[in-house]
Amino acid sequence: MFSNANLDVFNNSDTHINMLLYEESDEKIYNDLNMNIIIGDVNSILYTVLKVDKIIEFEGEYCYSFKFSNKIKGIIKGVKPILLLPKARNQVRFSGKVGMNNCINDKLDITNELSSSSSSRIVFSTIYATYDGELYEGLLYGNQFLGFVPSHTLSILQRLTKEFQINNGSIVFLDSKLRKQAGISKNDLTVYKSEFFIASEDIVRFIYEKKRCWIPVKDTSLGAVLKKHSPTTINEALFSSVAFQLNKKLTKSHSYYLKILKRELKKVDANNES
């Protein structure tokens, strides 16, 4: 499931993923990889989100090092967990027929009536999940958690702020599925500004006659748009999660030292005035 290179990056990055166990098991929790001392059993941590800081391949199986209780770390192997990987929050849209009936939602008993009729809605992807070798993403609509869907069923809305004009005779649409027409451009010299770009379908969102509308890039003067890569495999998702967490830590660190610098500069100014 994971490449050795990606496991090395994760294990040495001071980042984490989360793990959720859902099936009863006879497996025990040990204090280290030697597995001589039992400190608990798997059944005592079912449906508990656990913080994993190391994944080690040992004797053909993955062993997970996680925070068991207080400062005690535990090691388990021989389990089939759902792994939850932190990620950047993205606006996404269902790229095809919405399918919430899948293994991971069934295992977690997640059902949601809203999701079955929301194929045209813009929702937020907030977390990666892996189950049985497949990559999923957890979705939010407003404050409501919809459930998990396979990553390949989603299209990411990439932020794009760029001026453009519409080609003469082009159709503007009210929806991202390009089904409802908003109008047809005729000798329109207006300069518009894009808001979002869906790379998988090469369309942009913008304000047209005071409405949020969509148009294919080919029908505009935008030209080629740089497409951001999105993870399509579990390995890519793990690497992306590590990069996201490290960047978040770096941003926090910069903010912290900037506050200190501003405080010290105020002291200098105060001393100069006195």
Distances (CA, A) of 221 to 171, 189, 212: 14, 11, 19
Both tokens assigned to 94: 């269902």
Both tokens assigned to 206: 């913008």
Model confidence pTM above 0.85? no
pLDDT digits over 159-204, tens only?
999 999 999 999 999 998 899 999 999 888 999 999 999 988 999 9
Give the pLDDT confidence score for residue 116 in this predicted structure. 46
pLDDT digits over 24-68, tens only?
999 999 998 888 899 999 999 999 999 999 999 988 889 999 999
3-state secondary structure of 52: strand
Task: Judge whether residue 233 has pLDDT over 60.
Answer: yes
CA angle 179/203/189 to nearest 5° reads 95
What's the count of helices (H) and strands (E) in the chain, helices before strands? 3, 17
Number of C-beta neighbours around residue 29 at 10 A: 23
Residue 68, Cβ density class (10 Å: 0-12 exposed, 13-18 middle, ≥19 buried): buried
**In which element (H, E) is residue 18 found?**
strand 17-20
Task: Judge whether residue 115 has pLDDT over 50.
Answer: no
Give the pLDDT confidence score for residue 265 in this predicted structure. 67
